Amino acid sequence: MSESVAERIDADTIWSACRAADEIFGRCPEKRSAVLDLGKELRGYIDVLLPKVMVLAPRMRGEMRRVAIHALVRGRQVVAELDQAEPVPVEAAPLDGKPDMRDRDAAFEMAIVCRSYLSLVTRPGPLGEPIGMEEIEVAVKRRLCGACWRPIADGELVEVKVYTSDSGPDFHGFIHAEPCIPYRPVLVRVPVQPAPA
Give the number of other Cβ atoms within 10 Å of residue 30's Cβ.
12
Compute the distance between CA of residue 92 and CA of residue 89 in angstroms, rounded to an integer.
5
**Beta partners for residue 176, in sequence order:** 158
Alpha helices in 2-100 (DSSP H): 3-22, 32-56, 62-84
| Single-letter residue type at 65 | R
Q: At what angle do helices 133-141 and 62-84 cross, to 10 degrees?
A: 30
Compute the distance between CA of residue 21 and CA of residue 37 in angstroms, rounded to an integer.
11
pTM above 0.75, yes or no: no
pLDDT for the residue numbered 23: 83
CB of 45 closer than 8 Å to CB of 17: yes
CB of 93 closer than 8 Å to CB of 99: yes
Q: Sign (positive/negative) of CA torsion 171, 174, 179, 182?
A: negative
Measure the CA angle with vertex 39, ends 36 and 44; round to 5°. Answer: 130
Per-residue pLDDT of the chain (197 residues; tens, 9 = 90+): 334 433 545 888 888 898 888 888 777 777 888 888 998 999 999 988 988 898 899 999 889 988 998 888 888 888 888 887 777 777 776 777 777 778 888 888 899 999 999 999 999 888 888 888 777 777 777 677 777 767 777 778 777 766 555 544 455 567 777 777 665 556 667 778 888 87
Compute the distance between CA of residue 176 and CA of residue 83 in angstroms, rounded to an integer.
20
Burial code of 124-150, b = ≥16 C-beta within 10 A, e = fewer? beeeeeeeeeeebeeebeebebbeeee
